[in-house]
Amino acid sequence: MKAWTASGDAAVIVPAEVGEPVPAAHEAILEVEAYSVNRGDWFALTGAYGESAAAGTVPGQDVAGRVVAAAADGTGPAVGTRVVAHATGGGWAERVAVPTTAIAALPERIPATVAATLPLAGLTALRLLRRAGRLAGRRLLITGASGGVGHLVVELAVAAGATVTAVAANAERGQRLAEFGAQVRYDITAAAGPFDVILESVGGDTFTAAVDRLAPGGTVVWFGQASREPIRLDFFRLFAATPLTLHHFAHWISDTTDAADLAELVELVAADAVHPELGRITDWADTPTVLTDLAHRRIRGNAVLTR
């Protein structure tokens, strides 16, 4: 079957013919209709987490499609079910094997392009807000807000009753965030604060400036480093916000399964309560261009590839 594979060199990914996925007993095989590309995929492919993905590896976590072989252990959806799934890799291909604990059924009225945005970005948004705790009446700051995660966080947090300030690069990047009800700032220094909850994913000086705006007793959820610049923290400056709580967030640390949370996200979309921002929808042949554009901050919200 056709797939994109890690090249292990400057090309980053190359098209290839690869073998069909071989499922474990708890995995179903899905025919992929759409997949999304995340900043984290770019990081994994280019070595931000340590080693670059090995040449020949098929990337891809976020898929929407249809079950073509049910799991041998009898769990999960039946053949023919439309689904959205959070794969552990292998999604940028015609077919992928996914554990049934990471698959949710998808109603016909939700397009695969919309569903494909839900796994990594949606699970992250949902779990970030759970980690942040109570939201009603609290002042929330999110940096790096114009990406896939940021749009979902802003819409969910406003709906939960938070007063949201979102930092985005410019008016075009912030347009949907403002429509969702956020106060949009184009630079962290323009975000007055103080904030009870800060969701930070840019790193470097942005992190320091964000934490300077934390209210005493506030919570910082540190969930990324889009700039790849490490943060610097001054112990003494933090006294202004003490006793603060700092969480180092990883989306895979959760009391709930991906399947359960994907089902919740699907329900929110079906109920017209969440509207993923589809900044780019294009043919899967364009995956290398989309990866480059994502890396160079040329895509608002999520990027989705279709077959």
The site for ligand NAP (CB under 6 A) is made up of: 38-40, 120-121, 124, 144-150, 168-169, 173, 201-202, 223-224, 226-227, 249-251, 294, 297
User: Smallest gap, in angstroms, from Cβ of residue 100 to ligand NAP?
Assistant: 22
**Which residues 6+ apart lie within 8 Å of 192 measured at CB?**
213
Give the amino acid at 86: H
- Alpha-carbon span 254 to 158, nearest angstrom: 23
Nearer to ligand NAP (CB atom), residue 113 or residue 146: 146
**Residue 29, Cβ neighbours under 10 Å: how many?**
20
Nearer to ligand NAP (CB atom), residue 126 or residue 294: 294
Q: How far is CA 305 from CA 26, 108, 280, in A?
A: 27, 19, 8
Nearer to ligand NAP (CB atom), residue 222 or residue 284: 222
Nearer to ligand NAP (CB atom), residue 52 or residue 146: 146
Nearer to ligand NAP (CB atom), residue 120 or residue 259: 120
Nearer to ligand NAP (CB atom), residue 24 or residue 190: 190
Nearer to ligand NAP (CB atom), residue 41 or residue 82: 41
User: Smallest gap, in angstroms, from Cβ of residue 185 to ligand NAP?
Assistant: 12
Beta strands at 95-99 and 139-142: parallel, antiparallel or unpaired: unpaired
Strand segments, DSSP code E, in 7-50 are 13-17, 27-37
Strand segments, DSSP code E, in the chain are 2-6, 13-17, 27-37, 62-69, 82-86, 95-99, 103-105, 139-142, 163-167, 183-185, 195-200, 214-222, 245-248, 278-283, 302-306
User: Smallest gap, in angstroms, from Cβ of residue 40 to ligand NAP?
Assistant: 5
The residue to which tokens 């492919």 are assigned: 45
User: Smallest gap, in angstroms, from Cβ of residue 129 to ligand NAP?
Assistant: 13
User: Smallest gap, in angstroms, from Cβ of residue 41 to ligand NAP?
Assistant: 9
**Residue with CB nearest ligand NAP?**
147
User: Smallest gap, in angstroms, from Cβ of residue 228 to ligand NAP?
Assistant: 7
**Which residues 6+ apart lie within 8 Å of 19 measured at CB?**
1
User: Smallest gap, in angstroms, from Cβ of residue 237 to ligand NAP?
Assistant: 22
- Alpha-carbon span 26 to 102, nearest angstrom: 10
Whether 57 and 44 have beta carbons less than 8 Å apart is answered as: no
